Chains A and B, each alone.
Chain A
Amino acid sequence: MPESSFKPLILSHFWLAFGSFGLACVLGVYQVLERSGLIPLMQSPEVYFASVSTHGVLMAFVLTTFFIMGFGYLVATTSLKMPLAHPKWATAGFSVSALGTLMAAIPLLLGKASVLYTFYPPVQANVFFYLGAALLVVGSWFWAVIMVVMFGLWKKAHPGATVPLPMFATTANAILWLWTSVGVALEVVFQLIPWALGWIDTIDVGLARTLFAWTLHPIVYFWLIPAYIVLYSLVPKAAGGALFSHDLARLAFVLLLVFGLPIGFHHLYMDPEHGQGFKMIHAVGTFFVMLPTLMTGFTVIASLEQAGRKKGGKGLFGWIGKLPWDHPVVLAAILAFLMLIAGGFGGIVNASYGMNAMVHNTAWVPGHFHLIFGGTTVILYFAAAYAVWPKLTGRALIEGSLPLVQLWSWFIGMIILSTPWHILGLLGQPRRISSVAYNSLLTLAWDPYELAMIIGGLILLGSAFLFLHILLASQRKGLRIAAEEAEIHYADEEPEGTRVPALLNGFGVWNLVILLLMLANFGYPIAQFFLFKTFGSTGWGY
């Protein structure tokens, strides 16, 4: 099958992802405006919570899933230099996910599914919302299986060879996603859908929250791994250097896969349905998952330093100035790191078991995940799009510094948005309110921060539109370029004739480790709902 024939499929993934992202950014600006109370006419909890639910679903599920699928197909075909396996199934997966998105979007936009992207039973949404969410996930399983199949086919065709790092990481992510999505799938299929259809009267909210927590932490690594692929595989070459480390890069992805899964209870620290013992075990696991991120920080910064020194950078920090700051991929990586450092600090606070009580469900939490997901992860999605657009469209990016303006404005907007958000959390503001109605002096201190967030939101919206403009204009009017110019260059591969340790070239053993860790950390906590008498909840409106 010729390479050109699946480019439209990959572009469809990207446009659905980024189009949803643009719409979600518009909703985001509405939300900061509404929430500030600046324009009294705007005040409406009905519209606000429908908007928050839609914004969350579009950003967390639609942008991510479609981007990851499209990027995965591209990485698989270009790094393995082989055609897409089972392209019909890939198209089917896209169609199922797109149908699910549409099916969920209609009740969301009509205000019939204002249950937030975390579902929150026993408030009950229209059944089509749950069905749509389920289909979105089912479609992504097609992708995950195709990635695993291509990984296997390539290894069979190249006995003894090392799987290229970007594909190793993509396969890790596919396996991670299969493990991750089981939790929410169980919740949706066995609890939410039968309950919304009236087949069962009540559901156990404690069990539902536990299953969602299974998914809720590793899903962020599902989003993050493509961003890390950009850092490891695209940034070093873009900076004019090479990847500092081979083995630890692979190990980092393995650790994300293995330790990302069995630690979801840090979302349930404040919940009554689990004991402190399991919460503490998950807390300790959560700190170990810092390790791959600390390793990534070191490896990527070391790669950048080597590149900077090659260009003549001297002294402890001289290499920083020598980096090609005008290269979108390099600039995005630098800005991503700055946000990762701040966001990582916030994450450590959230993870800190007892201290979590200070920030749980306060404005600190959305501040944190906007910085680390909307900031670090999404800015690297931008970088990925800029890097692969010529390959997909056969045209160069439009001339000029617009991509740099876009990246800088996203960074500045995100800092202006998320810094006051964190402070609001420390000042006690709950995260999910549509207006401030408490008759308490405490709330006076909140006003200036809410106003600052509007400015951040507007800058981000402008940056999002600029991003969509750059992609569209490049695809339509960019200079046509030769195929070899559009090639994607991944950072150095393992030299021929040697092979990384087998454990870093496959996932068999790691799947077994995950199974054991999941049994240890989730086995009893889930079984307890069947061992003891619990009381279900009937559905509630909102």
Chain B
Amino acid sequence: MSSSSRPLHIDPLEKKWLKVAFALIALFVGVILYTGFFQHVHPPGGMETIDSAALHLSEEFAEDRLGVSVAPDGAIKVTLVAARYGFYPRSIKVPAGRPITFRIASADVLHGLHVPMTNLATMVVPGYISTVTTRFPKPGEYPLLCNEYCGMGHDHMWSQLQVVSQEDWDALTPSSKEP
């Protein structure tokens, strides 16, 4: 029996549907590229390494460097250590409506940080520094939850995040209003 391969056969209806399918995919990819490149909507990322076994000796994550700090230019940074079973310091206060950069390192195993109802989320991987910037639109009390299995006490791993209004924040940190 001799036979030769025939050309690809696509039914006219299939052709129409393929157009619809490509249009759908183009729409989704287009939205992602647009919001990524023009509105800077990105997941965290960056490949910065750190020795998780020696955080206490590091410039950035030694115990007395942790917490909220305001740079001379007004930029707000939160430095956290994730360790069984909490994010340290356990309670932090930040202003609403301003960009806040979180820098987090793990002292032991995998952790994940998520503040429900906001888009603050990142994995915390031992050996690497997680950096994520966000702003919280509304003041309030938020739990800062560990969302990655880290051991038998995982259920209890959470800290408190208090988002205060800009006025309350200014009252708390008079220095930040100086030029």
Which residues of A does B touch, CB under 8 Å? Answer: 45-46, 49, 116, 120-123, 160-161, 204-206, 209, 244-248, 251, 268-276, 279-280, 283-284, 287-288, 290-291, 294-295, 298-299, 302, 348, 352-358, 360-362, 427-438, 440, 442, 496-502, 504-505, 528, 532-538, 540-542
Q: A270-B112, A275-B45, A284-B32 are in contact. Are A497 and B3 (CB under 8 A)?
A: yes
Bound complex: CA of A429 vs CA of B50, how far in Å?
30
Q: A272-B44, A276-B42, A431-B147 are in contact. Are A294 and B9 (CB under 8 A)?
A: no
Which residues of B does A touch, CB under 8 Å? Answer: 1-11, 13-14, 17-18, 21-22, 24-25, 28-29, 32-33, 35-36, 41-53, 108-110, 112, 114, 116-117, 119-131, 141, 143, 145-156, 158
**A287 and B43 form a contact (CB under 8 A):** no
**A353 and B36 form a contact (CB under 8 A):** yes
Bound complex: CA of A427 vs CA of B41, how far in Å?
22
**A540 and B123 form a contact (CB under 8 A):** no
**A353 and B127 form a contact (CB under 8 A):** no
Bound complex: CA of A116 vs CA of B1, how far in Å?
55
In the bound complex, residues from chain B placing their C-beta under 8 Å from that of A534 are 49, 127
**B155 and A436 form a contact (CB under 8 A):** yes
Bound complex: CA of A358 vs CA of B120, how far in Å?
8
**B126 and A272 form a contact (CB under 8 A):** no
**B125 and A432 form a contact (CB under 8 A):** no
Q: Which residue of A lies closest to B13 (CB)?
A: A302
**B114 and A247 form a contact (CB under 8 A):** no
Bound complex: CA of A276 vs CA of B127, how far in Å?
18
Bound complex: CA of A120 vs CA of B110, how far in Å?
7
Bound complex: CA of A247 vs CA of B7, how far in Å?
10
Q: A274-B47, A354-B41, A497-B1 are in contact. Are A288 and B25 (CB under 8 A)?
A: yes
In the bound complex, residues from chain B placing their C-beta under 8 Å from that of A123 are 109-110, 149-151
Of the residues B9, B112, B121, B128, contact of A247 by C-beta under 8 Å: B9
Bound complex: CA of A535 vs CA of B58, how far in Å?
14
The 4 closest A-B pairs by CB, nearest first: A428-B116, A354-B41, A430-B147, A361-B147
**A428 and B32 form a contact (CB under 8 A):** no
**A535 and B1 form a contact (CB under 8 A):** no
In the bound complex, residues from chain A placing their C-beta under 8 Å from that of B14 are 245, 248, 295, 298-299
In the bound complex, residues from chain A placing their C-beta under 8 Å from that of B8 are 247, 251, 501, 504
